[in-house]
Structure 1
Amino acid sequence: MPEGHTLHRLAAQINTVFAGHLWRVSSPQGRFSAGAERLDGQVPQHAEAWGKHLFVHLGPAVWQVHLGLYGAFSFRGDADFAAEATIGAPRAAAVTFEPAYDDGGWLIPEPPKGAVRARVSGRHGWADLRGPTTCAVLDLAEYQAVIGRLGPDPLRQGPPGQDMPSQETPAGLPGQGLRGRTEADLRGAFLHNLTRRRISIAAALMDQAVIAGVGNIYRAESLFLERLDPHTPSNQVAPERASALWDRLTEQLRDGVAEGRIRTVRTRGSRRHWVYKHQGTPCKRCGAVIEAAELVGRRLYWCPGCQRD
């Protein structure tokens, strides 16, 4: 499942190629026909990510997308449409094509391929959404209800030393002030959420109501680097260690946004992760054998030698 950094990259790309310009929306598959009709012919104002959710604001309507395990956007366009080819679970290489335009000067999209839930088209290109878990049009009250159920997103902080969110919502649009906007507010919400739960810290990091945007890889790698036993009850993690964990996750997610992939081993070599999918091999830090086990329906990876506190 794409983790939070992917959704922030997706929001930034939608802002670059679609925001502020008229678009056309359809549902070639047919499962989003009513929603597409509400979005068609509108001007998207701003896209934002909160955890693993994408929200595109169009006046009183908000398009919500959760990619889930298999969802992805694919982007195609002419030379004026600068976009990464695919963002989400599947990966696809960009394919060249000869652009053609209609009488209004809009690029003519290629016929949809596969089960395209939603197609959004601008003057110079288009994007196809396939396989999402959620694809819905919300009103502002419904949007705020979704946000209200989510924990703090580390990527909604400004750079170190700044309190403004990394994706600032333009004036007049919702999204700020619902969970606090300073780094201290977000960190404090995370620490508070941990104190209210007796589940393991590993389970808590996957709970989007505790912290939004963390998935299986960031969960395993952050706990390893902080030497935290993944089975420790959340409410027993010392505040200073929980705060360090927040910092670690913030750093990792920001690296993911910058690099477009999850790479937690920062030394030279082909290895990208410390413990994720390395069960049965020696830990690179202490030599103990890395273990794996099912936890709340997901595979947990950890080093029993390093992660004992």
Structure 2
Amino acid sequence: MIRTHGLENIRQSGLLPICAIFIVVVAVNAWLQPGFFSFDVFQSNLASFTPLVLASMAQAVVVLAGGIDMSIGMSITLGTVVMAATMGDSPGSIALGIALSIAAIVAVGALNGWTVGYLRLPAIISTFAVSAICYGASLLIMPQPGGYVPSVFYETYQSTILYVLPVSLVVIAAALLVWGYVQKRKIYRYIYAVGGDESAAYANGISTRKVKLAAFLIACVLIALTSLVVISQTSTGDANIGRSYTLNTIAAVVIGGISLQGGKGSVFGAVLGAFIIGFISNIIFFANLSSFYQDLIKGLIIILALTLSLLPALRKKAFA
């Protein structure tokens, strides 16, 4: 009875098709990747997927509010470049680098929220313009890949807590706790209300401008975490390092069952979508396929996910 009730909750949330796809890609990975269920492989996969998971959560928050953030990739880049350009080995320089990185990312989020929420510019255009600004700023700070990243970043990220808990898992848990905190606040309901029907939300006294700004600022917390993880992985600053994240986060959001029109879906779905994309990359690698197939397979998965998510609505229309 409990199992049936749990399955019904998953079905009603729209996550059932995504869960099915997730199980399939995990099964294929287990077949192709040697030692898939070993702790070392688990830790390695988790460490590789974590940046996309965090960035996809950030994109999900904005999309749920009825927007889209085309600047996520370059915002991550700007955060990493600022850290690589300012950090040294001393605790003070590390703290300063992180603080300046967070400030830069928040400034980008505030600019996005202002242009989309207050100036009412189309999100896809204004955030794309902000992305170009971030890229230019990153090139200005670091024209060539380089900078300095203390070894403590890489060593900490690749380590475990008490030999059993990967740090990457702790980072994802921290991000989910941030979203869990948001879920207990009014802004959570407002995000869904504005994303679902902005006019109705405004008619009910909700400040749609403030909600959109808040969505971008909440996303900044997750983007800042992403930047810390990315620089821990790469140990360098590079103005092109975040290019792939923007489209991959949108793909993860779509695969995760979140409506691009806003107001429908869950951040957890975006997390599953990010893991699915990560496992697809693994499948391509271990199957010795060309990397050119990755976008093709990703596109087919997105179409499949969209089709499965639309089936309930199509059935209702058929029997109406």
Structure 2 length-normalised TM: 0.27
How does the TM-score come out when normalised to structure 1?
0.28
Give the number of the structure whose residues are more often strand, by fraction.
1
Structure with the higher helix share, 1 or 2: 2
Higher relative contact order structure (alpha carbons within 8 Å, sequence separation ≥ 6):
2
